Homo-oligomer: A and B are copies of this chain.
C-alpha cells in the first residue's frame, strides 16, 4: 500500500491515471499530454507500474499502458476503516 500512496502523491501521475481512465494509451501519447520530457514520463509510468496502478503491453515499437484500479481497493478499505470509528 506504501507504493500506491507514493505513486498517488504526484499531480502528474494522478493525471496520467485520469487519462488512462478514458482509454489505453502509448507512452508517447501520454507524454504528449504533458509539458515534461519523455524520459520523465517514462519514469512516472515506471512508478505507476511498480504500484500496479497501470499495466503495460508491448505492441511492436509501442508500449501500451492501461489503468488497473484493483489496488485502489485497499486504499478504499483503509479510508473506510478510518472513517467508521
Contacts and interface: CB of A to CB of B under 8 A. Distances in A.
Contacts of A14: 5, 78
A63 interface: no
A27 B79 CA distance: 23
Nearest to A6: B9
Interface residues of A, number: 22
Interface of A: 2, 5-6, 8-9, 11, 14, 17-18, 21-22, 67, 69, 72, 75-76, 78-79, 81-83, 85
21 contacts: A2-B11, A5-B9, A5-B14, A8-B8, A8-B9, A9-B9, A17-B82, A18-B82, A21-B81, A21-B82, A21-B85, A22-B85, A67-B82, A67-B85, A69-B79, A69-B83, A72-B82, A72-B83, A75-B79, A76-B76, A76-B79
